[in-house]
Amino acid sequence: DAGVIQSPRHEVTEMGQEVTLRCKPISGHNSLFWYRQTMMRGLELLIYFNNNVPIDDSGMPEDRFSAKMPNASFSTLKIQPSEPRDSAVYFCASSFAGGYDEQYFGPGTRLTVT
């Protein structure tokens, strides 16, 4: 199994641009998570899907952030417009049963907004 796949691995963009991060969860997993990690705030859960349906998006910072999961094998996290304070490492993770089970993390996307 290839594990959780994220793309791109690195993204550098200018303020105001749209950024789309992609994630392919492990086949058979029912839950998908998007996290953001910074030195200041640590690891924050942004949004959590179960069976492709958003269960908890309370961590999404503001309307500039949106996430979709059109099918069981693909999810996107979009930031529009991007701002320098969005610079962080964004992780996608998947599991069989949400927080009741171990989560498998992707390698992350390092986003830099200048």
Partner 1 sequence: SQQGEEDPQALSIQEGENATMNCSYKTSINNLQWYRQNSGRGLVHLILIRSNEREKHSGRLRVTLDTSKKSSSLLITASRAADTASYFCATDERSGNTGKLIFGQGTTLQVKP
Q: How far is the CB of 92 from partner 1 (least distance, A)?
A: 9
Task: Tell me the three state secondary structure of residue 10.
Answer: strand
Cβ partners under 8 Å of residue 41, min gap 6:
none
- Which of 54, 81 has the CB closer to partner 1? 54
- Please choose, from the candidates 101, 114, 96, 111, the residue with its C-alpha nearest in 3D space to the C-alpha of residue 35: 111
In Å, what is the CA distance from 1 to each residue of 27, 72, 93?
A: 8, 16, 15
- Which of 7, 80 has the CB closer to partner 1? 7
How far is the C-alpha of 33 from the C-alpha of 104, rounded, in Å?
10
| The pair of three-digit structure tokens given for residue 77, joined into one six-digit string | 């996290």
Binding of partner 1 by 91 (CB under 8 A): yes
Binding of partner 1 by 12 (CB under 8 A): no
- Which of 6, 82 has the CB closer to partner 1? 6
Among 43, 51, 61, 80, binds partner 1 (CB under 8 A): 43
Rule CB under 8 A: which residues touch partner 1?
Answer: 4, 31, 33, 35, 42-43, 45, 48, 50, 55-56, 91, 93, 97-108
